[in-house]
Structure 1
Amino acid sequence: MPTLPTVEVGGTDRRPSPGLGVRPDALLLDFGGVIFQTTKRPEGYGELAAHLSEVLGRAGHRRSPESLEPVLRGGVKALKDWKNASSRRLAPLELDHRTIWHDFLASPLPPAEREVLAGSAGTLLARLTATLSEHSVRPGIPELLATATELGVTVGIVSNAHSGRAHRTLLAAHGLDEAFGVQVYSDEVGLRKPHPGIITMAARALGTTPGRTWYVGDTLDRDVVAGRRAGVGAVILTRHHSDVPPYPVTDTADAVLDTPEGIGDLLRASVPVAPTSTLDAAGATGAETRTPSARPAVPAPAGRPSALLLDHGGVVVTSVPDDAARLAFGRHLSQRLAVAGYTLSPEEAVEAVAGARVRHRAWKDRHEGAPAAGTPADPAAGFVEDVEEIDATTFWVELVGPALAHLGDGIEDWLRAEAYALILEYARSKSLPTLRPGVRDVLEAARAGGVPVAIVSNTVCGRAVREELEAFGIDHLVGVHVYSDELGHRKPDPVTARTALTALDADPRSAWFVGDKPHRDVLAARGAGVGTVVLVRGGSSSDATLDAADGALRPDHVIAEVGDLLTLWAPAVPAAPARHGR
């Protein structure tokens, strides 16, 4: 066996542990402190506070940046305390994005303002990550990735993150994203180091076991402990900001390096052995419960609407299938799988996703038609509560996964780890959207008349909807975003509309809801006590369906185009100035 390089281990100079002598099947890297080094930006708090002030202003809440900055600083400090405490737990779960804003970053704010920020929690956390710190690639990382490729060692990421989205964006910006077979972020998979399951998931996703991997981190209380609990072949620590843990830790690393520069030498000095074929079992789930609030009374007072709630698909935009985009996504999925060691042609990828779309429609039918105990079984006879939304993980693991099971036992873990990144690309590829005529005029009239606006939509990826609104140049006219995949509940559950009304601090009796589906939009709006419900033709429902809607499904108005709202509103809301050339 070749002589191993001498590195610092456990505070003294000696030969590395025997685990470093066996070449791993996969090298798992932490993100911050290993791939990237971070430098705090003190001025970032002021910049972020200014942005949050603007976001709240769009929803009609006046809050100065000066008043928000101490709220942010306190929230970040509280979140750090929570993270330190979580590192003491045996199997910690990660916070979801909405909870981070509700319970930590925005907890001192009034309920309506908290709900506005929680409605864009993922987007705001990505911005927070990019604003409060600067990131630069640590010395030796490009060389390490090249060495791993040369030696046939697959590389993955295992990181605690409140915004895996931000991390993926950073990797892509530095041209590093294609080097990793899998990226596992705590906010996307729900597990948080030192939970050993997050490392086991990454190992399985790459077709191996924790014992056949090396894990590289920068903290004792999270990384070293997680590695030891998972039973990895070796744990390597690279110094960054975390030399001193928040409490005593008895576990030690196999090697401690100042930078990642020496890891490539350790890989070269290791000896390959026959690959293993047995995968370890792992997994943990957490459930969140919700108690529905009481429905307010429906009678609607006359006068200016207190809020305008709009569905997205069929109302704000109409869409047509985009076969070219679907094929491009198939190629993207095929390429991503290839990096992780799985072979699937683009055509097979397209077929697998198409099958999942069919199963997804059946899933929606089952869940919308199965209200909770004590509520009517027939949605036309009353309101439906507790209608859950599918999440990205369920979509990819349970709906797509069966079609890819032949690729190997680790494919389920790969899909679980990559689900949130894949769902965004999938949502982008589903169809080609077109902004409906009159939408911009209605939004501008609402802004001119002081009527706050919310988008309330069933979605597989709310982030993709936000991208569409921004691309059409209307995002600044929307104050609140309520997307089912982020909320965890879908229309006809009235919690969707209630959440928007709470965020806008609006009286439901004088609010308006505009949708295109009686069985979802009308039921959700009526169940939340919305006073005026409008359906628009030309969306997802046929004219015959709209005209036949009766009982609990009957709207107050049916209009041909969204712009016809301006006629219904007059003179309560002033029309927007005439615009030409759009």
Structure 2
Amino acid sequence: MTETPAAGTAPATSPAPAAALATRPQALLLDFGGVVLATRKRPEGMAEVAGHVAEVLARAGHHIPAADLLPVLSGGRTALRDWKNSASRRLAPRELTHREIWGDFFGAPLPPAAREVLMGQAGALQQMVTLTLAEHSVRPGIRELVELADSLGVPLGIVSNAHSGRAHRAILERHGLAEAFGVQVYSDEVGVRKPNPEIIDIAARALGAEPGRCWYVGDTYDRDVVAGRRAGAAAVVLTRHRHTDEVPFPVSDVPDAVFDTPEGLVAALRAAEPPRAGSPGARAAREPATGRPGRPGGGELPSALLLDHGGVISVSRPDDGVRRAFAELLATRLTRAGHTLTTDQALRTLKDIRAAHTSWKARHELPAAPLTATVPEIDATTFWVELAGPVIARALSGTPVAAFGAAVVPDGLRAWLRAEAHALMVAYARAKSVPVVRRGVRELLRAARAAGVPVAVVSNTVNGRAVREKLDAAGLTEYVGAHVYSDELGRRKPDPELPAAALRALDADPAHAWFVGDKPARDVLAARAAGVGHVVLVRGGSTSDDALAALADDDPARPDHVVDDMTEPAALMGLAPAAPPDSGRPPAGRQPDPVPGS
């Protein structure tokens, strides 16, 4: 084949070879935009994004008008588009993190403190951008394709370059399509992007299939066709969309078939012959899954107030109902992908998964390490593949629990867990417990706002997104200027980088900042190492009164103050009580939709 003569011209394609689409695939892998969903730009979208970003920055004390942010964000969008075109030329491109997108692209021209605020909320901001800039509608033929694939026992998977997989999951839920797919693989969640063939390989293996016996369907030449060829897909198909013929550089690979809409794919799948019995590609049809898925002494006001979340802003109580609901969700999703697990089995695995996580934290959090030591946080992929994977594999095989990590995780299960790790993590975090806001927290936050003292939440957590949701549900988001969560930063307290990042975001003097936590060995040590001038521990969190009383005077984990509840810190800092608000929460602009069940 000859390379196309110039950028911007799509390769000529020949009629589909009979052999490529003649045999029914083991799995059908579909791109998101341009295949399953059609996208239409919203002309007013970027102005709405600028307004929302202005509100986010204002909460942290950075007042930049939306009109000034609009060209900054538009420039970032242009630069990001150019980066994506360049990345599609690479052999095995990785995906940008949300922090990179908001630090290096959207926020690059902004002052360092404002940029730090945006990086701290990058995941939520990117979801909002995805949902705001475009409207989505189901393409012709997709619902028929879903029904046909289900009747033929052909599993479906999503394989998409996405800077917000959580937004794409929400969109599929909104259109009633989420349950049709055994796996959803998004580049921001697995860390690689097309044309890297690994992303297709992950999806195929997650569904128990081989890439060489799958059909891959996309809408671009430089990303989808090239990725499909590199992955060795049995057939590579294009469904035309608005970017199909906008090729940024010459591409030599051509698809096996090009359809104007996915309706052509329905006919092709219907006409394909099932694999011959006994052949390597033969696969038994699966039954559809069932079930539902001081103030310092000098009189100065604090430069900033940093608050831990669990044990400080809220206390939590276990809830068997929410845990069982998560177990049911996990079992349903696994079963849908061909890994049959009951809700009761899933519920039993959660105890062992939590124990494995506790063991991981004990190995990586070294209490005797210097205050400047780096303390890593576990990421969603490590949690679900390396810790939960062996536990789930034992449950699937019926093997008794022996030792963590002893079980061999089947390749298909490993691939599925890698693809679904981020969605599982937020659902897991939501189901760990039911939070209740502590008495005095609202009054403290109102007093801080009235005095002009910026607030940050600085928390060790497996999922910062879930913490944000809890703050929003409690009506506290409007008071918080900066968010720093260990899973998003990749480091956990007592690592001082967490409070240091919050101080940078709020442009605050560490010596005049206050930190309120509930754990001496994490909160106090982290705050001290970051140079925070005043550290308070509150009783009633995860540290017993006896443990607090046992702290020696010269112990670096000893706080400056210990308080009984959250009604006391305001007086310590010299913050006057604020009058209660006259009305409800102020409008927050266009907000991302939560992902039901994800």
Q: Given the two structures, how large is their TM-score scaled by the length of structure 2? A: 0.88
Alpha-carbon distance change, 220 to 12 in structure 1, aligned in 2, over 3 angstroms = closer
Write out aligned runs for 1:273-422 (5 A). 273=275, 274=277, 276=280, 302-369=299-366, 378-379=368-369, 382-405=370-393, 407=396, 408-422=410-424
Write out aligned runs for 1:87-106 (5 A). 87-106=88-107
**SS, match of residue 525 in structure 2:** helix
Partners in 2 of 1:389 and 1:89 — Cα distance?
30
List gaps (5 residues or longer) in structure 1. Answer: 1-8, 280-298, 370-376
- Superposition RMSD in Å: 1.9
**SS, match of residue 458 in structure 2:** strand
Q: Residue by residue, what CA displacement relative to the aligned partner does 1:204-229 show, whole Å, maximum 9, x if unpaired? A: 00001101100000000000000000
User: Match for 1:378: what amino acid?
Assistant: A
Q: Residue by residue, what CA displacement relative to the aligned partner does 1:375-430 show, whole Å, maximum 9, x if unpaired? A: xx725xx4142100001111100111002235543000000000000011101110
Q: Identity, % of aligned pairs?
A: 60
Q: Which residue pairs with 2:514 in the alignment?
A: 512
Q: Which residue pairs with 2:66 in the alignment?
A: 65
Aligned 8 A contact 2:13 2:254 in 1? no
Match for 1:564 among 561, 568, 574?
568
Partners in 1 of 2:106 and 2:272 — Cα distance?
45
Partners in 1 of 2:167 and 2:343 — Cα distance?
27
Alpha-carbon distance change, 552 to 277 in structure 1, aligned in 2, over 3 angstroms = farther
Alpha-carbon distance change, 579 to 244 in structure 1, aligned in 2, over 3 angstroms = closer
1:575 Cα deviation from its structure 2 partner: 1.3
Q: Which residue pairs with 2:287 in the alignment?
A: none
User: Match for 1:329: what amino acid?
Assistant: F
Partners in 2 of 1:523 and 1:237 — Cα distance?
56
User: Match for 1:405: what amino acid?
Assistant: A
User: Match for 1:454: what amino acid?
Assistant: A
Match for 1:433 among 412, 432, 435?
435
User: Are positions 1:552 and 2:544 aligned together?
Assistant: no
Q: Which residue pairs with 2:459 in the alignment?
A: 457
Q: Residue by residue, what CA displacement relative to the aligned partner does 1:232-265 show, whole Å, maximum 9, x if unpaired? A: 0000001112213100000000000111111111
User: Match for 1:531: what amino acid?
Assistant: G
Q: Which residue pairs with 1:373 in the alignment?
A: none
Report how many aligned residue pairs link the two structures: 544
Q: Which residue pairs with 1:258 in the alignment?
A: 260
Alpha-carbon distance change, 300 to 146 in structure 1, aligned in 2, over 3 angstroms = farther
Q: Given the two structures, how large is their TM-score scaled by the length of structure 1? A: 0.91
**SS, match of residue 540 in structure 1:** coil
Alpha-carbon distance change, 109 to 300 in structure 1, aligned in 2, over 3 angstroms = farther
Partners in 1 of 2:297 and 2:86 — Cα distance?
49
Match for 2:535 among 523, 533, 536?
533
Partners in 1 of 2:137 and 2:433 — Cα distance?
36
Aligned 8 A contact 2:11 2:251 in 1? no
Partners in 2 of 1:546 and 1:137 — Cα distance?
58
Aligned 8 A contact 1:10 1:255 in 2? no
Aligned 8 A contact 2:34 2:241 in 1? yes
List gaps (5 residues or longer) in structure 2. Answer: 1-9, 284-295, 397-409, 585-598
Q: Residue by residue, what CA displacement relative to the aligned partner does 1:496-541 show, whole Å, maximum 9, x if unpaired? A: 0000000000000000000000000000000000000000000010
Deviates more, 1:264-273 or 1:88-97: 264-273
Deviates more, 1:265-274 or 1:477-486: 265-274
User: Match for 1:565: what amino acid?
Assistant: P
**SS, match of residue 411 in structure 2:** coil
Alpha-carbon distance change, 578 to 116 in structure 1, aligned in 2, over 3 angstroms = closer
Aligned 8 A contact 2:310 2:541 in 1? yes
Q: Residue by residue, what CA displacement relative to the aligned partner does 1:191-215 show, whole Å, maximum 9, x if unpaired? A: 1100000000100000011011000
1:338 Cα deviation from its structure 2 partner: 1.6
Aligned 8 A contact 1:316 1:436 in 2? yes
